[in-house]
Structure 1
Amino acid sequence: MPDLRYRFADPGELTGERVADMLPGPDPDSFTIVIEPGHATVELLDQLGGAPARDACPWARLPDTPETHLHPDRVLHAGWQLTQPEALPEGMICMSLERSQRYDLVIREGHASPQLVAEMTWLLTRTMRNGVWVRSDAEGRGDN
């Protein structure tokens, strides 16, 4: 399972209009998500985990073979969505929502900017499509 870490960007670290980036980590399948200050709350990053956030990334990478491309638990889209505060249990800022070939992190409005949500959706979907990723609980099920 990949290791995701979230942190705020240092001044000048993100270029142009970017408000987020996914940087490779020190180990294979490890990433650091860097977010421009002002586009997410400290509480959101705390809930996602400033340390490894394994619960926020329930995927595993499989070898890139013709068989794994057909894996029934392959994730083809991953993204973030904003929701009304009353849609999440009290005290929760975000929670995952999984559907067939899709993974979304649903975030309470006011804790992430719409621009950040759009960028994270683009970054995560690009990552999912540049490899063969499956739900981590499906890793050992085979490809049928």
Structure 2
Amino acid sequence: MRFVIQRVTEAAVRVDGELLGQIEKGYLVLIGVAESDTEEIADKMVKKMTGLRIFEDEQGKTNLALKDVGGSLLLVSQFTLYANCKKGNRPSFIEAGSPEKANALYEYIIKKCRESVEWVETGRFGADMKVSLLNDGPFTIVLDSEKL
């Protein structure tokens, strides 16, 4: 499982011009699921992500977590995080989870995040989404379950 976490001052996702989700201060999280991923892996990833201390405290040090600043989440499924570009110039996505598996884990991650974060917005699984954001810092972190 892979999460690309971007600390943002604002972010939004639209499908066909319709606003699906919008947040202010918080994280835009792109979520990639592999076929081998499980709910247990998702639990570890959610715990690590929500516990990250990457917001600045009064001294300007990155020492505060999402809950400390009243931050929000915008969760967007992103199978292209499993693009394999080793051969040729056209990426392969065979390492990405099947749509059924990926959607089930995406929905599970949303549920788990809503247990600990007050404001959670989402994209639409499988849709052609338009994502906009104002990256704060910029501050971007990649979490890979194989490296946790």
TM-score between the two structures when normalised by the length of structure 2: 0.30
The structure whose RCO (Cα within 8 Å, separation 6+) is larger is 2
TM-score between the two structures when normalised by the length of structure 1: 0.30
